Every structure is written in structure tokens, then in C-alpha cells.
Amino acid sequence: WTLLSALAAQTKRVRVGVLVTSNTFRNPAVLAKMAATVDHVSQGRLVLGMGAGWFELEHAAYGIPFSTMRGRAQRLDEGLEVMKLLFTQEKSTYTGKYYQLQDALFEPKTVQKPHPPILIGGQGPKLILPVIARHANIWHLRVREVNPEGIKQLSATFDAICRKVGRDPAEVERAVSLRSAQLTEPAEEMRDQIQAFADVGIRHFVISLSPAERKLL
């Protein structure tokens, strides 16, 4: 997030964000303040990427508590509730199992209203997809060997979950990451591939660079 703020200050048009921030790493109220600062530095270009956390070894290495998948999903759900309250209310009070607020002030508010778009990564149908359906503006899918047919099947499951929680599925933009190697194909094949993703509802593409390619930037 420190580097993200520096990048935001050195750019003008590109949107900035993390794919994704583990909710387990910080208290959501602290992260909300960090996000608001980056949104101001970038003049409203932040995408707030969030995830439940998955890399147990990383947590063990730094002494960060690592719960069950259910516990991490519940923490993410509450954490997003906390952040959205702080972004939109003059004073926020919240009593959850994991997080609490008591007449919490939050100023300045973010540049983007009601808050920066929330991108959530994940695809577990029982635990994570309901959280995404409730809170996300953008859903980042990670389908093995990303392919349109897999996305189509997963999207149908997600749409049903959205309706169950009272959310219009069309409100959630779908996103995938493409490896840079996929972009070296002939232009016509590349257009066909992008169109195939668009045909199953993908509107947001993230290009993933290899370590070697990042060194060239």
C-alpha cells in the first residue's frame, strides 16, 4: 500500500489497486484510512481489491493469526461491512463477532462516492461467493486454465447466489487475469479470445506479467 501511494502520485490516468489485499493483515478500519489516503493521492483512481487470505505459510512466517476458511470468509464479510460504514457514515457503530466500532469518526471521506469500487477475488460457492455477492462491485475470477466455459458455469452459480441475497447480478462486473504470454498470439486469435471472454460476461481484464517482464518496465 505504501508503494501503491507512490505509484498513484506518479501517474495520472491508470487506475491503481492491489490484487488483492488479504483482510487478515490489517484491522479494516486502519485499511479504510489507508484506502482513503490513496484515493485522495490518486484523485479518485483507487480500486479496493480485497480477499479473505489463503497463504498459510505467509501468516505463520510473520505471526499473523490464520483461521479456518469459514472464519476468514466471515472476517472478510464483517471487515467489508466496517469499511463501507466508515466510508459512508458521519459516525459508525458496529458490533460484530470479529470487529467493533463505537461512534467512529472517519474523515476525510474518499473521493469516489459512495466509496472506491470494491474488487473481491475468490470463487468458493459456499463461503466466498455469498460475500462477493453482498459487497463487490467487481468480482475477480480465478478459474483453472481460465476458459470461457468454466467462467460461464461459475457465473451461473454466482448469479443464483446474488439473487438469493437480493442483489442484481448485473451490478457486479466480472474480471479475469490474462498471462502476458496469451497476448503474443496473432492479433486475430487474440481478438477472438477476448471476444469469447466478453461473450460470457467478462468486462475487466488484468494483464499478469512475469518477473522477467516486470524487470523491463
Query: Which has the closest alpha carbon to 117: 39, 2, 205, 206?
Result: 39
Q: Cell numbers 488483492 label which residue?
A: 20
Show the DSSP H helices in 115-186 as ranges: 128-135, 148-164
Q: Cell numbers 494483464 label which residue?
A: 207
Contact between 42 and 77 (Cβ < 8 Å): no
Taking the CA of residue 100 as centre, how many other CA atoms within 13 Å lie in the half-sphere pointing to its CB?
3
What is the model's pLDDT at position 184? 63
The DSSP code for 96 is -
Largest CA distance in the chain: 57
Question: What predicted TM-score, i.e. pTM, was given to this entire model?
Answer: 0.91
Q: Tell me the pLDDT tens digit for each residue of 158-211.
A: 999 999 999 999 999 999 988 766 556 677 877 888 898 899 999 998 887 767
Show the DSSP H helices in the chain as ranges: 2-10, 28-41, 56-62, 69-88, 128-135, 148-164, 187-199, 211-215
What is the model's pLDDT at position 190? 77
Collapsing DSSP states into helix, strand and coil, what is residue 124? coil
Q: Tell me the pLDDT tens digit for each residue of 11-29.
A: 999 999 999 999 999 999 9
For residue 34, list its beta bridge partners.
Answer: none
